[in-house]
Structure 1
Protein backbone atom coordinates (compact mmCIF):
# COMPACT_ATOMS: atom_id res chain seq x y z
CA UNK A 1 0.00 0.00 0.00
CA UNK A 2 1.15 3.54 -0.74
CA UNK A 3 1.71 5.97 2.12
CA UNK A 4 -1.16 8.44 2.69
CA UNK A 5 -0.44 12.18 2.72
CA UNK A 6 -1.72 15.12 4.79
CA UNK A 7 -0.98 18.82 4.42
CA UNK A 8 -1.30 21.26 7.32
CA UNK A 9 -1.42 25.01 6.58
CA UNK A 10 -0.48 27.49 9.28
CA UNK A 11 2.08 25.45 11.21
CA UNK A 12 4.10 27.38 13.75
CA UNK A 13 5.88 26.17 16.86
CA UNK A 14 6.28 22.51 17.73
CA UNK A 15 4.41 23.52 20.88
CA UNK A 16 1.24 24.57 19.10
CA UNK A 17 -1.82 23.14 17.35
CA UNK A 18 -0.27 22.96 13.88
CA UNK A 19 2.80 21.10 15.08
CA UNK A 20 0.70 18.74 17.18
CA UNK A 21 -1.61 17.92 14.25
CA UNK A 22 1.43 17.15 12.10
CA UNK A 23 2.78 14.76 14.73
CA UNK A 24 -0.60 13.07 15.23
CA UNK A 25 -1.04 12.21 11.56
CA UNK A 26 2.61 11.20 11.18
CA UNK A 27 2.09 8.76 14.04
CA UNK A 28 -0.58 7.05 11.97
CA UNK A 29 1.81 6.55 9.07
CA UNK A 30 1.03 9.69 7.10
CA UNK A 31 3.56 11.66 5.14
CA UNK A 32 2.91 15.15 6.50
CA UNK A 33 3.57 18.37 4.64
CA UNK A 34 3.98 21.21 7.14
CA UNK A 35 3.50 24.69 5.74
CA UNK A 36 4.00 28.03 7.44
CA UNK A 37 5.52 31.46 6.99
CA UNK A 38 8.53 30.86 9.23
CA UNK A 39 10.80 28.24 7.71
CA UNK A 40 12.80 27.63 10.89
CA UNK A 41 9.62 26.72 12.81
CA UNK A 42 8.23 24.27 10.28
CA UNK A 43 11.65 22.71 9.81
CA UNK A 44 11.77 22.13 13.56
CA UNK A 45 8.40 20.35 13.39
CA UNK A 46 9.64 18.17 10.53
CA UNK A 47 12.92 17.42 12.31
CA UNK A 48 11.04 16.34 15.44
CA UNK A 49 8.90 13.94 13.41
CA UNK A 50 11.73 12.42 11.41
CA UNK A 51 14.11 12.15 14.40
CA UNK A 52 11.52 10.34 16.48
CA UNK A 53 10.87 7.80 13.76
CA UNK A 54 7.10 8.25 14.06
CA UNK A 55 6.61 9.04 10.38
CA UNK A 56 7.82 11.17 7.50
CA UNK A 57 7.40 14.88 6.89
CA UNK A 58 8.57 17.79 4.79
CA UNK A 59 8.44 21.57 5.15
CA UNK A 60 7.20 24.05 2.56
CA UNK A 61 7.41 27.74 3.36
CA UNK A 62 3.98 29.10 2.49
CA UNK A 63 2.19 32.38 3.05
CA UNK A 64 -1.45 31.27 3.20
CA UNK A 65 -2.61 34.70 2.06
CA UNK A 66 -0.71 34.32 -1.23
CA UNK A 67 -2.79 32.48 -3.83
CA UNK A 68 0.17 31.31 -5.91
CA UNK A 69 1.96 29.89 -2.87
CA UNK A 70 -1.14 28.02 -1.68
CA UNK A 71 -1.65 26.52 -5.15
CA UNK A 72 2.01 25.47 -5.29
CA UNK A 73 1.72 23.76 -1.91
CA UNK A 74 -1.34 21.85 -3.13
CA UNK A 75 0.50 20.84 -6.29
CA UNK A 76 3.12 19.20 -4.09
CA UNK A 77 0.54 17.66 -1.76
CA UNK A 78 -1.32 16.02 -4.63
CA UNK A 79 1.93 14.77 -6.17
CA UNK A 80 3.99 13.87 -3.08
CA UNK A 81 6.36 11.46 -4.81
CA UNK A 82 6.73 7.74 -5.51
CA UNK A 83 5.03 5.41 -3.05
CA UNK A 84 2.71 8.10 -1.70
CA UNK A 85 -0.96 8.83 -2.25
CA UNK A 86 -2.27 12.32 -3.05
CA UNK A 87 -3.24 14.20 0.11
CA UNK A 88 -6.62 13.22 1.51
CA UNK A 89 -6.32 15.37 4.64
CA UNK A 90 -6.21 19.18 4.42
CA UNK A 91 -5.97 21.29 7.58
CA UNK A 92 -6.39 25.08 7.56
CA UNK A 93 -4.89 26.26 10.83
CA UNK A 94 -3.70 29.81 10.11
CA UNK A 95 -4.66 32.51 12.56
CA UNK A 96 -3.52 35.56 14.49
CA UNK A 97 -5.00 37.47 17.38
CA UNK A 98 -4.51 40.65 19.37
CA UNK A 99 -6.53 42.87 21.65
CA UNK A 100 -7.08 46.19 19.82
CA UNK A 101 -9.38 49.02 20.87
CA UNK A 102 -12.02 49.37 18.14
CA UNK A 103 -11.51 53.15 17.84
CA UNK A 104 -7.78 52.62 17.33
CA UNK A 105 -8.14 49.75 14.86
CA UNK A 106 -6.77 50.76 11.47
CA UNK A 107 -8.15 49.64 8.13
CA UNK A 108 -4.83 47.98 7.37
CA UNK A 109 -4.95 46.00 10.62
CA UNK A 110 -8.53 44.90 9.98
CA UNK A 111 -7.64 43.73 6.48
CA UNK A 112 -4.55 41.88 7.72
CA UNK A 113 -6.57 39.92 10.29
CA UNK A 114 -9.20 39.14 7.67
CA UNK A 115 -6.60 37.93 5.17
CA UNK A 116 -5.00 35.57 7.69
CA UNK A 117 -8.17 34.45 9.47
CA UNK A 118 -10.67 34.23 6.59
CA UNK A 119 -9.20 34.80 3.13
CA UNK A 120 -6.57 32.12 3.71
CA UNK A 121 -9.37 29.67 4.53
CA UNK A 122 -11.06 30.51 1.25
CA UNK A 123 -7.85 29.82 -0.68
CA UNK A 124 -7.19 26.54 1.12
CA UNK A 125 -10.83 25.47 0.96
CA UNK A 126 -11.21 26.24 -2.73
CA UNK A 127 -8.06 24.35 -3.67
CA UNK A 128 -9.08 21.44 -1.44
CA UNK A 129 -12.42 21.20 -3.24
CA UNK A 130 -10.75 21.38 -6.64
CA UNK A 131 -8.32 18.58 -5.78
CA UNK A 132 -10.48 16.28 -3.63
CA UNK A 133 -13.76 16.20 -5.57
CA UNK A 134 -12.22 14.22 -8.45
CA UNK A 135 -11.01 11.69 -5.86
CA UNK A 136 -14.44 11.49 -4.23
CA UNK A 137 -12.96 11.41 -0.74
CA UNK A 138 -10.97 13.41 1.78
CA UNK A 139 -11.17 15.49 4.95
CA UNK A 140 -10.89 19.27 5.23
CA UNK A 141 -10.62 20.75 8.73
CA UNK A 142 -10.68 24.44 9.63
CA UNK A 143 -9.42 25.74 12.98
CA UNK A 144 -11.86 28.22 14.50
CA UNK A 145 -12.00 30.04 17.83
CA UNK A 146 -14.38 31.54 20.38
CA UNK A 147 -14.57 34.51 18.01
CA UNK A 148 -16.14 32.26 15.37
CA UNK A 149 -19.33 32.39 17.46
CA UNK A 150 -19.25 35.71 19.28
CA UNK A 151 -17.51 39.05 19.25
CA UNK A 152 -15.91 40.43 22.40
CA UNK A 153 -14.74 43.97 23.19
CA UNK A 154 -11.40 44.62 21.55
CA UNK A 155 -11.67 41.67 19.19
CA UNK A 156 -14.01 42.85 16.41
CA UNK A 157 -11.31 42.32 13.76
CA UNK A 158 -10.64 38.77 14.95
CA UNK A 159 -14.29 37.78 15.31
CA UNK A 160 -15.17 39.14 11.86
CA UNK A 161 -12.46 37.00 10.27
CA UNK A 162 -13.20 33.85 12.22
CA UNK A 163 -16.97 34.12 11.73
CA UNK A 164 -16.34 34.39 8.00
CA UNK A 165 -14.14 31.29 8.10
CA UNK A 166 -16.93 29.40 9.85
CA UNK A 167 -19.34 30.27 7.03
CA UNK A 168 -16.83 29.05 4.45
CA UNK A 169 -16.64 25.72 6.30
CA UNK A 170 -20.44 25.43 6.53
CA UNK A 171 -20.97 26.25 2.88
CA UNK A 172 -18.32 23.77 1.81
CA UNK A 173 -19.75 21.04 4.04
CA UNK A 174 -23.21 21.42 2.52
CA UNK A 175 -21.87 21.46 -1.03
CA UNK A 176 -19.18 18.81 -0.85
CA UNK A 177 -20.34 16.47 1.92
CA UNK A 178 -22.71 14.71 -0.49
CA UNK A 179 -19.74 14.27 -2.83
CA UNK A 180 -17.70 12.37 -0.26
CA UNK A 181 -15.66 15.23 1.26
CA UNK A 182 -15.84 15.61 5.03
CA UNK A 183 -15.59 19.31 5.91
CA UNK A 184 -15.35 20.17 9.61
CA UNK A 185 -14.85 23.30 11.69
CA UNK A 186 -13.31 23.15 15.18
CA UNK A 187 -14.08 25.90 17.69
CA UNK A 188 -11.10 26.26 20.04
CA UNK A 189 -12.80 27.90 23.01
CA UNK A 190 -10.06 28.90 25.41
CA UNK A 191 -6.36 29.58 25.68
CA UNK A 192 -3.88 27.01 24.37
CA UNK A 193 -0.97 26.02 26.57
CA UNK A 194 1.72 26.60 23.95
CA UNK A 195 4.47 28.95 22.85
CA UNK A 196 2.19 31.63 21.40
CA UNK A 197 0.28 32.17 24.64
CA UNK A 198 3.45 31.85 26.70
CA UNK A 199 5.07 34.61 24.68
CA UNK A 200 2.10 36.99 24.50
CA UNK A 201 0.19 36.44 27.76
CA UNK A 202 2.34 34.61 30.35
CA UNK A 203 0.20 36.10 33.10
CA UNK A 204 -2.84 34.29 31.66
CA UNK A 205 -1.07 30.94 32.02
CA UNK A 206 -0.15 31.77 35.60
CA UNK A 207 -3.71 32.85 36.39
CA UNK A 208 -5.55 29.91 34.80
CA UNK A 209 -3.00 27.19 35.43
CA UNK A 210 -2.50 24.13 33.21
CA UNK A 211 -5.99 22.76 33.91
CA UNK A 212 -7.58 25.97 32.71
CA UNK A 213 -5.98 25.82 29.27
CA UNK A 214 -6.24 23.54 26.25
CA UNK A 215 -3.36 21.13 25.65
CA UNK A 216 -2.30 21.09 21.99
CA UNK A 217 -1.78 17.32 21.72
CA UNK A 218 -5.28 16.79 23.14
CA UNK A 219 -6.63 19.17 20.49
CA UNK A 220 -4.80 17.28 17.74
CA UNK A 221 -6.40 14.04 18.87
CA UNK A 222 -9.75 15.46 17.77
CA UNK A 223 -8.45 16.27 14.29
CA UNK A 224 -7.50 12.63 13.85
CA UNK A 225 -10.88 11.52 15.25
CA UNK A 226 -12.74 13.70 12.74
CA UNK A 227 -10.78 12.23 9.87
CA UNK A 228 -11.60 8.70 11.00
CA UNK A 229 -15.34 9.24 11.47
CA UNK A 230 -17.61 6.94 9.44
CA UNK A 231 -19.74 8.67 6.81
CA UNK A 232 -22.93 7.72 8.61
CA UNK A 233 -22.08 10.05 11.51
CA UNK A 234 -19.96 12.96 10.35
CA UNK A 235 -19.38 15.97 12.60
CA UNK A 236 -19.48 19.36 10.89
CA UNK A 237 -18.65 21.48 13.94
CA UNK A 238 -16.89 20.51 17.11
CA UNK A 239 -16.14 22.76 20.07
CA UNK A 240 -13.26 22.11 22.45
CA UNK A 241 -12.62 23.81 25.78
CA UNK A 242 -10.97 23.09 29.13
CA UNK A 243 -13.36 21.69 31.73
CA UNK A 244 -12.86 24.85 33.79
CA UNK A 245 -13.64 27.23 30.92
CA UNK A 246 -16.52 29.68 31.45
CA UNK A 247 -18.97 29.43 28.58
Structure 2
Protein backbone atom coordinates (compact mmCIF):
# COMPACT_ATOMS: atom_id res chain seq x y z
CA UNK A 1 0.00 0.00 0.00
CA UNK A 2 1.66 3.19 -1.20
CA UNK A 3 1.56 6.13 1.21
CA UNK A 4 1.57 9.68 -0.21
CA UNK A 5 4.55 11.94 0.37
CA UNK A 6 4.86 15.71 0.00
CA UNK A 7 7.85 17.99 -0.46
CA UNK A 8 6.63 21.59 -0.60
CA UNK A 9 3.67 23.09 1.28
CA UNK A 10 1.98 26.45 0.79
CA UNK A 11 -0.37 27.77 3.48
CA UNK A 12 -2.49 30.73 2.33
CA UNK A 13 -4.09 32.88 5.01
CA UNK A 14 -1.27 32.21 7.46
CA UNK A 15 -1.17 33.52 11.00
CA UNK A 16 -1.16 32.26 14.56
CA UNK A 17 -3.40 29.38 15.52
CA UNK A 18 -4.16 26.66 13.01
CA UNK A 19 -1.81 27.91 10.29
CA UNK A 20 1.07 28.02 12.76
CA UNK A 21 0.28 24.50 13.98
CA UNK A 22 0.20 23.23 10.40
CA UNK A 23 3.48 24.95 9.58
CA UNK A 24 5.19 23.38 12.59
CA UNK A 25 3.82 19.92 11.80
CA UNK A 26 4.77 20.08 8.12
CA UNK A 27 8.26 21.32 8.95
CA UNK A 28 8.66 18.53 11.53
CA UNK A 29 7.79 16.03 8.79
CA UNK A 30 10.55 17.39 6.57
CA UNK A 31 8.31 19.41 4.24
CA UNK A 32 9.47 22.83 3.06
CA UNK A 33 6.90 25.47 4.01
CA UNK A 34 5.78 28.73 2.40
CA UNK A 35 3.39 31.05 4.23
CA UNK A 36 1.21 33.62 2.49
CA UNK A 37 -0.76 36.42 4.13
CA UNK A 38 -1.85 39.94 3.34
CA UNK A 39 0.50 41.18 6.06
CA UNK A 40 3.62 39.13 6.74
CA UNK A 41 5.17 41.18 9.54
CA UNK A 42 3.42 38.96 12.10
CA UNK A 43 5.03 35.82 10.66
CA UNK A 44 8.66 36.51 11.57
CA UNK A 45 8.84 34.32 14.65
CA UNK A 46 7.02 31.45 12.96
CA UNK A 47 9.35 31.61 9.95
CA UNK A 48 12.39 31.52 12.24
CA UNK A 49 10.97 28.52 14.09
CA UNK A 50 9.95 26.47 11.04
CA UNK A 51 12.45 27.80 8.46
CA UNK A 52 9.45 28.82 6.36
CA UNK A 53 9.42 31.72 3.91
CA UNK A 54 6.69 34.33 4.02
CA UNK A 55 5.05 36.01 1.02
CA UNK A 56 2.68 38.96 0.95
CA UNK A 57 -0.44 38.15 -1.04
CA UNK A 58 -4.04 39.29 -1.31
CA UNK A 59 -5.72 35.96 -2.00
CA UNK A 60 -8.72 37.66 -3.64
CA UNK A 61 -6.55 39.24 -6.37
CA UNK A 62 -5.77 36.97 -9.37
CA UNK A 63 -2.47 38.69 -10.18
CA UNK A 64 -1.30 38.42 -6.58
CA UNK A 65 -2.07 34.71 -6.45
CA UNK A 66 -0.37 33.98 -9.76
CA UNK A 67 2.71 35.92 -8.63
CA UNK A 68 2.72 34.06 -5.30
CA UNK A 69 2.88 30.66 -6.96
CA UNK A 70 5.62 31.83 -9.30
CA UNK A 71 7.76 33.05 -6.40
CA UNK A 72 7.22 29.91 -4.34
CA UNK A 73 8.16 27.75 -7.33
CA UNK A 74 11.38 29.64 -7.90
CA UNK A 75 12.46 30.03 -4.29
CA UNK A 76 11.23 26.84 -2.58
CA UNK A 77 9.82 24.43 -5.15
CA UNK A 78 6.51 23.63 -6.79
CA UNK A 79 3.87 23.20 -4.07
CA UNK A 80 2.42 19.70 -3.93
CA UNK A 81 0.49 20.47 -0.73
CA UNK A 82 -1.66 23.61 -0.53
CA UNK A 83 -3.86 24.70 2.37
CA UNK A 84 -6.39 27.52 1.99
CA UNK A 85 -6.98 28.95 5.45
CA UNK A 86 -8.16 32.48 4.61
CA UNK A 87 -11.55 33.86 5.51
CA UNK A 88 -13.38 37.11 6.15
CA UNK A 89 -16.78 38.25 7.33
CA UNK A 90 -18.97 41.32 7.71
CA UNK A 91 -21.10 41.00 10.86
CA UNK A 92 -24.45 42.57 11.61
CA UNK A 93 -28.14 42.56 10.78
CA UNK A 94 -28.85 41.82 7.13
CA UNK A 95 -30.41 45.22 6.42
CA UNK A 96 -27.41 47.06 7.90
CA UNK A 97 -24.67 45.26 5.95
CA UNK A 98 -22.60 47.34 3.55
CA UNK A 99 -22.67 45.62 0.14
CA UNK A 100 -18.99 46.37 -0.54
CA UNK A 101 -18.02 44.73 2.78
CA UNK A 102 -20.08 41.65 1.93
CA UNK A 103 -18.51 41.41 -1.52
CA UNK A 104 -15.04 41.59 0.03
CA UNK A 105 -15.86 38.92 2.60
CA UNK A 106 -17.12 36.54 -0.09
CA UNK A 107 -14.09 37.33 -2.25
CA UNK A 108 -11.66 36.32 0.49
CA UNK A 109 -13.58 33.30 1.81
CA UNK A 110 -14.57 31.78 -1.54
CA UNK A 111 -13.12 33.46 -4.64
CA UNK A 112 -9.65 33.43 -3.12
CA UNK A 113 -10.02 29.71 -2.53
CA UNK A 114 -10.82 29.24 -6.20
CA UNK A 115 -7.84 31.32 -7.34
CA UNK A 116 -5.41 29.44 -5.09
CA UNK A 117 -6.85 26.04 -6.00
CA UNK A 118 -6.69 26.82 -9.72
CA UNK A 119 -3.01 27.73 -9.56
CA UNK A 120 -2.28 24.68 -7.41
CA UNK A 121 -4.15 22.27 -9.67
CA UNK A 122 -2.37 23.54 -12.79
CA UNK A 123 0.93 22.52 -11.20
CA UNK A 124 -0.25 19.23 -9.69
CA UNK A 125 -2.07 17.76 -12.69
CA UNK A 126 1.02 17.06 -14.84
CA UNK A 127 2.40 14.86 -12.03
CA UNK A 128 -1.00 13.43 -11.08
CA UNK A 129 -0.06 14.05 -7.45
CA UNK A 130 -0.84 16.60 -4.78
CA UNK A 131 -3.26 17.67 -2.07
CA UNK A 132 -5.43 20.77 -1.73
CA UNK A 133 -7.04 21.33 1.67
CA UNK A 134 -9.69 23.91 2.56
CA UNK A 135 -10.50 25.17 6.04
CA UNK A 136 -14.24 25.56 6.56
CA UNK A 137 -16.32 26.42 9.61
CA UNK A 138 -19.66 25.81 11.26
CA UNK A 139 -20.93 28.37 8.75
CA UNK A 140 -20.04 25.96 5.93
CA UNK A 141 -23.16 23.96 6.76
CA UNK A 142 -25.21 26.27 9.02
CA UNK A 143 -26.08 29.88 8.28
CA UNK A 144 -26.19 31.83 11.54
CA UNK A 145 -28.15 35.00 12.22
CA UNK A 146 -26.25 38.23 11.50
CA UNK A 147 -23.53 36.27 9.72
CA UNK A 148 -24.84 36.19 6.14
CA UNK A 149 -21.57 37.07 4.42
CA UNK A 150 -19.60 34.39 6.26
CA UNK A 151 -22.23 31.76 5.48
CA UNK A 152 -22.27 32.71 1.79
CA UNK A 153 -18.50 32.55 1.57
CA UNK A 154 -18.07 29.31 3.48
CA UNK A 155 -20.98 27.57 1.71
CA UNK A 156 -19.35 28.52 -1.59
CA UNK A 157 -15.94 27.27 -0.47
CA UNK A 158 -17.47 23.93 0.50
CA UNK A 159 -19.16 23.67 -2.88
CA UNK A 160 -15.85 24.40 -4.58
CA UNK A 161 -14.13 21.67 -2.58
CA UNK A 162 -16.83 19.11 -3.36
CA UNK A 163 -16.76 19.90 -7.07
CA UNK A 164 -12.96 19.77 -7.16
CA UNK A 165 -12.85 16.47 -5.30
CA UNK A 166 -15.09 14.87 -7.89
CA UNK A 167 -13.09 16.31 -10.79
CA UNK A 168 -9.53 16.00 -9.52
CA UNK A 169 -9.48 12.90 -7.31
CA UNK A 170 -9.50 10.55 -10.35
CA UNK A 171 -6.46 12.49 -11.57
CA UNK A 172 -4.42 11.86 -8.43
CA UNK A 173 -5.10 15.06 -6.48
CA UNK A 174 -6.56 14.68 -3.00
CA UNK A 175 -9.02 17.48 -2.23
CA UNK A 176 -10.43 17.75 1.28
CA UNK A 177 -12.61 20.21 3.19
CA UNK A 178 -12.54 20.55 6.99
CA UNK A 179 -15.57 21.80 8.89
CA UNK A 180 -14.18 23.40 12.06
CA UNK A 181 -17.32 23.37 14.19
CA UNK A 182 -16.33 25.31 17.29
CA UNK A 183 -13.96 27.91 18.62
CA UNK A 184 -10.20 27.40 18.30
CA UNK A 185 -8.06 27.79 21.40
CA UNK A 186 -5.56 30.66 21.39
CA UNK A 187 -3.66 32.86 23.81
CA UNK A 188 -6.63 35.21 23.84
CA UNK A 189 -9.24 32.42 24.01
CA UNK A 190 -8.84 29.82 26.74
CA UNK A 191 -11.36 27.52 28.35
CA UNK A 192 -12.87 28.17 31.78
CA UNK A 193 -11.65 25.80 34.46
CA UNK A 194 -14.99 24.00 34.60
CA UNK A 195 -15.05 23.31 30.84
CA UNK A 196 -11.71 21.73 29.88
CA UNK A 197 -11.09 21.10 26.18
CA UNK A 198 -14.21 23.05 25.19
CA UNK A 199 -12.24 24.79 22.43
CA UNK A 200 -10.48 22.98 19.60
CA UNK A 201 -6.73 22.68 20.11
CA UNK A 202 -5.02 23.94 16.90
CA UNK A 203 -2.37 21.23 17.20
CA UNK A 204 -5.11 18.60 17.35
CA UNK A 205 -6.76 20.07 14.25
CA UNK A 206 -3.42 20.02 12.44
CA UNK A 207 -3.02 16.35 13.32
CA UNK A 208 -6.39 15.60 11.69
CA UNK A 209 -5.22 17.41 8.54
CA UNK A 210 -2.09 15.28 8.56
CA UNK A 211 -4.07 12.08 9.04
CA UNK A 212 -6.12 12.91 5.95
CA UNK A 213 -2.94 13.62 4.00
CA UNK A 214 -1.65 10.17 4.90
CA UNK A 215 -4.70 8.34 3.53
CA UNK A 216 -3.91 5.87 0.74
CA UNK A 217 -5.77 6.75 -2.44
CA UNK A 218 -7.92 3.63 -2.14
CA UNK A 219 -9.63 5.24 0.88
CA UNK A 220 -9.70 9.03 0.49
CA UNK A 221 -12.14 11.29 2.29
CA UNK A 222 -13.24 14.63 0.90
CA UNK A 223 -14.69 16.10 4.11
CA UNK A 224 -14.08 15.92 7.86
CA UNK A 225 -16.02 17.62 10.66
CA UNK A 226 -14.10 18.48 13.82
CA UNK A 227 -15.63 19.75 17.05
CA UNK A 228 -14.86 19.69 20.79
CA UNK A 229 -16.43 16.86 22.73
CA UNK A 230 -18.89 19.25 24.44
CA UNK A 231 -19.97 21.10 21.27
CA UNK A 232 -23.64 20.73 20.33
CA UNK A 233 -24.46 19.98 16.69
| TM-score, reference length from structure 2 | 0.92
Query: 1:4 maps to what in 2?
Result: 7
Classify 1:96/1:194 alpha carbon distance in 2 versus 1 (closer, same or farther; 3 Å): farther
Does residue 77 (structure 1) correspond to residue 72 (structure 2)? The answer is: yes
SS at 1:174 equivalent: helix
CA shift for structure 1 position 98: 5.4
Query: 2:148 maps to what in 1?
Result: 156
Which residue of 83, 88, 92 corresponds with 1:91?
83
Runs (5+) with no aligned partner, structure 2? 1-5
Q: For residues 6-31 of structure 1, give each alpha carbon's deviation from its aligned partner in whole angstroms, at most 9, with x where no partner exists.
A: 10000012xx1111111110010011
Runs (5+) with no aligned partner, structure 1? 50-55
Query: 2:114 maps to what in 1?
Result: 122
CA shift for structure 1 position 48: 2.2
Question: In the aligned structure 2, how far is the partner of 1:231 from the partner of 1:72?
Answer: 31
* 8 Å Cα contact 2:135-2:178 kept in structure 1: yes
Does residue 183 (structure 1) correspond to residue 175 (structure 2)? The answer is: yes
Classify 1:122/1:207 alpha carbon distance in 2 versus 1 (closer, same or farther; 3 Å): farther
* 8 Å Cα contact 1:12-1:41 kept in structure 2: yes
SS at 2:79 equivalent: strand
RMSD: 1.8
* 8 Å Cα contact 1:12-1:38 kept in structure 2: no
1:27-38 alignment runs, 5 A limit: 27-38=28-39
* 8 Å Cα contact 1:35-1:42 kept in structure 2: no
Classify 1:168/1:104 alpha carbon distance in 2 versus 1 (closer, same or farther; 3 Å): same
Question: In the aligned structure 2, how far is the partner of 1:191 from the partner of 1:207?
Answer: 16
Question: In the aligned structure 1, how far is the partner of 2:97 from the partner of 2:202?
Answer: 30
Comparing 142-151 with 100-109, which one deviates more in the overlay? 100-109
Question: In the aligned structure 2, how far is the partner of 1:209 from the partner of 1:237?
Answer: 28
Question: In the aligned structure 2, how far is the partner of 1:238 from the partner of 1:129?
Answer: 21
Question: In the aligned structure 2, how far is the partner of 1:168 from the partner of 1:140?
Answer: 11
Query: 1:52 maps to what in 2?
Result: none
Question: In the aligned structure 1, how far is the partner of 2:40 from the partner of 2:15?
Answer: 9
Which residue of 60, 66, 70 corresponds with 2:61?
66
Query: 2:3 maps to what in 1?
Result: none
1:91-240 alignment runs, 5 A limit: 91-97=83-89, 99-194=91-186, 198=188, 205-206=191-192, 209-240=195-226
Number of matched residues?
228
CA shift for structure 1 position 241: 0.4
Query: 1:41 maps to what in 2?
Result: 42
